[in-house]
Structure 1
């Protein structure tokens, strides 16, 4: 089953003059695939992720996620779709420091309002246990290490059972040990839980160990 389809994407920037940053980009990603998007600075990889995340809607072509064509939807529709179907893990974890770990993880699900607070809390505790952080539930986010914080960010991304997790340099702020831990979590999620993961990364070792690499150069896919 396709988790994501990208069809003939073209993207332009208008800075002083018209500049094409993505050129006829096409690919499909299947459910349960762990895909790394790589390319040198300026290749278009971050721009592409921004389009896939539905945050930028100014492009030519079509994007479908989990069987739904997101191209052409309103900003309100896209905001609701993102919260229900896409989980995000960024280079910086963006946890609320004064909130407990469980409270941070619960936030996207409380916003979605599909489950009771008790159900959401139970799931948040379950996710912390799955990520080898059992017993830290009530710790404040300000009191944990960077590696632990990124694991909590992954738990937060998983709380709504998204179709796709998108990572923007998800190990960019981590040392080699914590990078390996985060990679192993992603691999476990993809291969044993059927979670689709798309990560933009400049870490060649991380990319080489993922299931598949999509490489961009000058806005075009040169290796897939």
Structure 2
């Protein structure tokens, strides 16, 4: 079952002069698929991810996520859709440093308000345990290592049971040991939980071990291998 469909996506940057950064990009992603998007700097991969995540809406073409066309929706509608359907993991974790791990993970679910605070706390504790952070729940985020902070960011991305987790270089600031830990987390989420994952990465080994690689070159898809 397809959970994401990108159809004829074209994107222009207009400064300092008009430039077509994405050129008629089309592909589909199935439920439970772990996809890596690769390409040289300037190929358009991060730009594409921000369009897919609905954080950038200035494009031509159509994006459908979980059966809903997100193209041309209002900013308020997209913000609500994002919070429910998309978990995003950045290269930098963007945790609130003076908040506890538990508080950081709970925030998106409290905003969505689909469950009670007690249920949200229980789910947050479960995710932190699953990601190897049991016993650290009440620590401030600023007191963790970089690898631990990125695992908290993954827990936060999972709290609303999103349709898709998207990541922009989520291992870019990590050493090889923590990169493997984060990769294994994504691998297990896809295989065991049926979680759909789309990751932009420069790491060839990371990409090679995912289910499929979508390669961009000069704004075009040049391969989408299994």
TM-score interval (norm. to shorter): over 0.9
- Distance across 2 between alignment mates of 1:24 and 1:14: 17
Name the CA distance, whole Å, in 2 between partners of 1:56 and 1:145: 31
- The residue that corresponds to 2:27 in the other structure is 27
1:62-81 correspondence to structure 2 within 5 Å = 62-81=62-81
Residues matched between the structures, number:
224
Matched residue, 2:217: 217
| Residue 184 of structure 2: aligned partner | 184
Residue 218 of structure 1: how far off its partner (Å): 0.3
Report deviation, 1:191: 0.6
Provide the residue aligned with 1:3 in structure 2: 3
Distance 2:17 2:99 in 1: 45
Shift of 1:185: 0.2
Alignment of 1:4-153 (within 5 A): 4-153=4-153
* SS of residue in 2 equivalent to 1:17: coil
How far has the Cα of 1:13 moved from its partner?
A: 1.0
Give per-residue Cα distances to partners, 1:135-185, cap 9 Å, x unaligned. 111111011110000000000000000000000000000000000000000
Shift of 1:17: 2.5
Counterpart of 1:167 in 2: which secondary structure? strand
Deviations 1:26-84 (A, max 9, x none): 00000100000000011000110010010111111000111110001000000000000
SS at match of 1:32: coil
What's the offset of the Cα at 1:15? 1.4
Give the Cα separation in 1 of the matches to 2:51 and 2:63. 8
Unaligned runs of 5+ in 1: none
* 1:77 match: secondary structure: helix
Q: TM-score, with normalisation over the residues of structure 1?
A: 0.99
Give me the whole-angstrom Cα distance separating, in 2, the residues matched to 1:11 and 1:223: 19
Residue 163 of structure 1 corresponds to 163
Provide the aligned C-alpha RMSD in A: 0.6
Q: Distance in 1 between matches of 2:183 and 2:82?
A: 23
| Matches of 1:143 and 1:24, distance apart in 2 | 45
Q: Secondary structure at the match of 1:63?
A: strand
Question: For each residue in 1:75-103, what CA deviation from the matched residue of structure 2 results, as whole angstroms up to 9, or x when unmatched?
Answer: 00000000000001010001111111000
C-alpha separation between the residues in 2 aligned to 1:18 and 1:148?
41
SS in 2 for 1:15: coil
Distance 1:189 1:141 in 2: 23
| TM-score, with length taken from structure 2 | 0.98
Runs of 4+ in 1 over 3 A off after TM superposition: none
**What is the deviation of 1:19?**
1.0
Aligned counterparts of 2:85 and 2:11: Cα–Cα separation in 1: 23
